[in-house]
């Protein structure tokens, strides 16, 4: 078990394989366990690093709501790369993990060798759309506060995440899942690294966001995984891994 510690908060990470670095960030209420199939598929040629966000899995669950933020997630990612002795890596993530991957590229473009954005979106330019999203995030936080871990429902990723209690998830919903500005969506045309944008064909709520990112990010490659929902890597791991491996292998050509 490996941890980085920032401001007294322990953040769990794993480091597998050797070769060019790939840092994968999970979605809200999931954990690094969701990437097991990808680790096994990639570790023969790539150094695959995964981690548990604050309030998730084996990381700490700080009591301070201010410890949960996009900025802290980005700083945690940079600290994990530092702990692994990796200057730059392919930065990839699913759903919330895709958002923090975009934020990492915005903060650390020199450490981002490429981007992989799975079943995710870039936030909102429109204040009303952002407010509606944040209502959903607040609702999820309230559900965890009233129902505890029963609020996870039957999500495949959540079932294997190993969360210890729901307090961190409630804080993460309010501080990390919620959106506070339009910086990510405004950054899309300025992305200069190779980018894979992937979505499950059944993940209809994220189709428009996927199309938008594929259209705005210069040279982005778009992939749709058939018979997959919002967690395409768990729904169709073979097809997902094939798309990711093809993208990564193409970076070295």
Q: What pTM, to 2 d.p., does this model score?
A: 0.96
End-to-end CA distance of the chain: 34
Task: Quote the distance between the C-alpha of residue 236 and its chain's center.
Answer: 18
Domain 2-194+212-218 has CATH 3.40.50.1820: yes
Average pLDDT over residues 179-202: 97
**How high is the pLDDT of residue 224?**
98
Q: Which residues contact 231 (CB under 8 A, 6 or more apart)?
A: 27, 30, 34, 94, 95, 119, 155, 156, 157, 200
Give the model's confidence band at 133: pLDDT under 50 very low, under 70 low, under 90 confident, else very high: very high
Looking at the predicted structure, is the pLDDT value of residue 253 above 70?
Answer: no
CB 139 within 8 A of CB 35: no
- pLDDT computed for residue 31 by the predictor: 95
pLDDT of 149 > 80? The answer is yes
What tens digit of pLDDT does each residue of 83-121 get? 999 999 999 999 999 999 999 999 999 999 999 999 999
pLDDT computed for residue 252 by the predictor: 81
**DSSP letters along 97-142, please?**
HHHHHHHHHHH-GGGEEEEEEES-----SSHHHHHHHHHHHHHHHH
List the chain domain ranges: 2-194+212-218
Q: Is 176 helix (H, G, I), strand (E, B) or coil?
A: helix
- Confidence (pLDDT) at 157: 67
pLDDT value at position 60?
97
The residues near 102 (Cβ < 8 Å, ≥ 6 apart) are 115, 117, 122, 184, 187, 188
Average pLDDT over residues 3-11: 96
pLDDT digits (tens, 9 = 90+) for 156-187: 767 778 899 999 999 999 999 999 999 999 99
Range name among 16-20, 70-74, 118-122, 146-150 with the lowest pLDDT average = 146-150
pLDDT averaged over the chain? 96
DSSP string, 14-83: EEE--SSEEEEEPPTT--GGGGHHHHHHHTTTSEEEEE--TTSTTS---S-GGG-SHHHHHHHHHHHHHH
């Amino acid at each position: 078990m490996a941890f980085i510690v920032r401001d007294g908060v322990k953040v769990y990470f794993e480091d597998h394989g050797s070769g060019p670095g790939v840092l994968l960030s999970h979605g809200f209420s999931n954990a690094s366990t969701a990437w097991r199939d990808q680790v096994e598929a990639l570790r023969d040629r790539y150094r695959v690093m995964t981690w548990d966000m604050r309030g998730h899995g084996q990381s700490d669950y700080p009591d301070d709501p201010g410890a949960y933020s996009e900025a802290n997630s980005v700083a945690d990612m940079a600290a994990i790369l530092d702990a692994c002795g990796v200057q730059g890596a392919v930065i990839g993530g699913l759903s919330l993990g895709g958002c923090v991957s975009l934020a990492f590229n915005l903060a650390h473009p020199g450490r981002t060798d490429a981007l992989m954005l799975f079943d995710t979106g870039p936030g909102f330019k429109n204040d009303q759309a952002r407010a509606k999203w944040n209502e959903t995030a607040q609702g999820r936080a309230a559900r965890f506060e009233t129902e505890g871990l029963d609020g996870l429902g039957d999500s495949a990723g959540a079932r294997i995440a190993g969360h210890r209690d729901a307090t961190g998830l409630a804080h993460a919903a309010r501080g990390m899942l919620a959106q506070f500005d339009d910086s990510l969506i405004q950054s899309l045309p300025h992305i200069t690294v190779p980018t894979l944008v992937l979505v499950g064909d059944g993940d209809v709520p994220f189709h428009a966001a996927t199309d938008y990112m594929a259209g705005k990010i210069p040279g982005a490659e778009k992939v749709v995984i058939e018979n997959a929902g919002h967690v395409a890597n768990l729904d169709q791991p073979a097809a997902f891994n094939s798309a990711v491996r093809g993208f990564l292998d193409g970076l070295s050509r």
